[in-house]
Amino acid sequence: MLVKYIARRFFASVIVLLGVTLITLVLMDRTRGTYVPGIDLNPSLRPEDIARLRADLGLDRPFYLWYLTWLWGALHGDFGRSMIDGSTVMSHILDRLPNTLELTGTAILIGLVISVPVGVIGALRRGSKTDHGLTVISVAGFAVPQFWMGLLLILVFSVTLEQHGLPWLPSSGAYSAVNGGDFLDRLQHLVLPATVLSFFYVSVWSRFIRSSMLEVLSQDYIRTARAKGMSERRVVYLHGLRNALIPLVTLIGLELPGLVSGGLVVEVVFGWPGIGKLAFERALQYDYTTVMGVTFFAAVLVIAGNLLADVLYGVLDPRIRYG
C-alpha cells in the first residue's frame, strides 16, 4: 500500500521536474542568443573571437540540442562551468549549500519550537486576551517585509550598538574573516539572519497550528476521549495534538524549497554566503550557467520537498498507510 503510494508520487515528481527544467530553460533561452562571454572583461573582442567563444560554449546550437545536452549533464550533477570564473557550477553550489542549510535549518527549528506551543495555547485559550495578543503578533509578523526587518535589525544591533561602544552583532557573513570560524563566532553571525527568517515561520505556523488544533478539538473522538474520563491534558496532547500535527508536517515538507529560495532575500541583506546569494550575484553578472544550475537544484528540492511531505503524510496518517 504505502510502497505503491510512494511510487506513484515519485513518478509524478519526475514528470514535474522535467517540465520545470524545460520551462526554465525556455526562459533562459532568451539570453543565449545574445550573450557574449567575457564581454565585460574585454570589450574589444573581434567578431570572430566572439563567434569562437560562443561556439565553445555551445551557445549557437538549436534549442532542443542545448536542452538535452544540458539536461544530460545535469542528471549527472554536471551543470557546466561558471561563465565568470570557470570553476564548475557544482563546486560553487556545494561550497555554499552548507551555509544555506545552516541558516534555514536553524530558522525552521526555532520556528517549530516556538510556533507549536504558541499555536496550542492560542487554541486552548481561544478568545482570551492571551489568544488575541498572540494572534495580533502572528498577523503582524506575517505583514513585515523580511528585508525591512533585516535592515532595521542591522541598524539597531550592528550599527547603532557599535556606535555607542556597546557589544554589537555582526551584520554580514557567516563568520569573521579574521580570527573567526569558531562556534561562538558563527553563532554570533547567525543570530540576526536566523531571527528574521524564523519570525516569518513562527507567524505562519502558529496560526496554522492554532486552527488545526481548533478543528481537531471539535471532532467527535475528542468528545469520546473526554467521556472515557481522561484528564484534559491527556485529551489535548495525546489525542488532539497527534492529529493536529499531521497537516503541519505537510506544510513543513513544502517549506523544503524555502530552504534554498526563501532565504535568498535574507542572505542578500545579511551578506550570508549561501546559495541564494550566489544565484543573485551571478545573475547580475549574467553567469547563466551558474544560475541555471542553482535553479535546477532548487527545483529538485521543491519536488523532493513535495514528495517528502506526501510520504510523511502517508506515514503519519494510518488512513493512507492502510487505506
What CA dihedral angle connects 268, 269, 272 and 273, to 10 degrees? 20
Minimum Å gap between C-beta 64 and other proteins is: 18
User: For residues 157-176, which are near other proteins according to CB under 8 A?
Assistant: 159
Residue type, 192: L
Minimum Å gap between C-beta 266 and other proteins is: 10
Is residue 177 near other proteins by the rule CB under 8 A? Answer: no
User: For residues 3-22, which are near other proteins according to CB under 8 A?
Assistant: 12, 15-17, 19-20
User: For residues 266-285, which are near other proteins according to CB under 8 A?
Assistant: 268, 276, 279-280, 283-284
User: For residues 233-252, which are near other proteins according to CB under 8 A?
Assistant: 239, 242-243, 246
Stretch that binds other proteins, among 36-44, 72-80, 84-92, 315-323 (CB under 8 A): 315-323
CA–CA distance, 39 with 205 (Å, rounded to integer): 47
Cβ burial of 268 (10 Å; 0-12, 13-18, 19+) is middle
Based on CB atoms, which residue is closest to other proteins, 52 or 223? 223
Backbone angles phi, psi at 81, to 5 degrees: -115, 155
Assigned C-alpha cell, 256 = 523544503
Minimum Å gap between C-beta 243 and other proteins is: 6
CA–CA distance, 48 with 161 (Å, rounded to integer): 57
Is residue 27 near other proteins by the rule CB under 8 A? Answer: yes
Based on CB atoms, which residue is closest to other proteins, 56 or 220? 220
Phi/psi zone of residue 89: left (φ > 0), alpha (ψ -120 to 50 degrees), beta? alpha
User: For residues 29-48, which are near other proteins according to CB under 8 A?
Assistant: 30-31
Minimum Å gap between C-beta 71 and other proteins is: 15
CA–CA distance, 305 with 310 (Å, rounded to integer): 9
Based on CB atoms, which residue is closest to other proteins, 108 or 278? 278
Q: Return the residue of 5, 24, 57, 185 that touches other proteins, per CB under 8 A.
A: 24
Is residue 106 near other proteins by the rule CB under 8 A? Answer: no
Based on CB atoms, which residue is closest to other proteins, 34 or 44? 34
Is residue 213 near other proteins by the rule CB under 8 A? Answer: no
Is residue 139 near other proteins by the rule CB under 8 A? Answer: yes
Is 318 within 8 Å of 266 (Cβ atoms)? no
Q: Return the residue of 153, 264, 308, 309 that touches other proteins, per CB under 8 A.
A: 264
Q: b/e string for 110-142 if b means 16 or more Cβ within 10 A?
A: bbbebbbebbbbbbbeeeeeebeebbeebeebe
Cβ burial of 224 (10 Å; 0-12, 13-18, 19+) is exposed
Cβ burial of 76 (10 Å; 0-12, 13-18, 19+) is exposed
Residue count at the site for other proteins (CB under 8 A)? 72
Is residue 257 near other proteins by the rule CB under 8 A? Answer: yes
